[in-house]
Amino acid sequence: MGSDMISFLIIWFWYVQGSMCIGHLIMASAVTGSLYAGSIIVGVCYGAQWSLMPAAIRRPSIRINT
């Protein structure tokens, strides 16, 4: 479960960050209504990122041992 969970979290964070970039590009396009659509995409992605952040931090297998 540890390795699968780590790879899932990495893929999920990449997906969320990519979607957030697309949302910012939509807002920057200055097309009519793009501010609304882009802000919804960025808001959903921001919420998805921070809902999984505590789970990623609390996993002992993800921590880097120094």
Residues 6+ apart with CB under 8 A from 8: none
For position 62, what pLDDT does the model report? 53
pLDDT digit string (tens) for 19-36?
Answer: 999 999 999 998 998 999
Two tokens at 20?
A: 């957030």
DSSP conformational letter for 4: H
Q: Taking the domains of the chain in order of start, what are their residue ranges?
A: 2-58
Beta strands in 1-66 (DSSP E): none
pLDDT in tens, 7-66: 777 788 888 889 999 999 999 998 998 999 999 999 999 888 887 777 666 655 555 555
User: What was the pLDDT predicted at 1?
Assistant: 47
The Cα 3–Cα 26 span in angstroms is 35
Q: Considering only CA atoms, which of 48, 42, 3 is closest in space to residue 22? A: 42
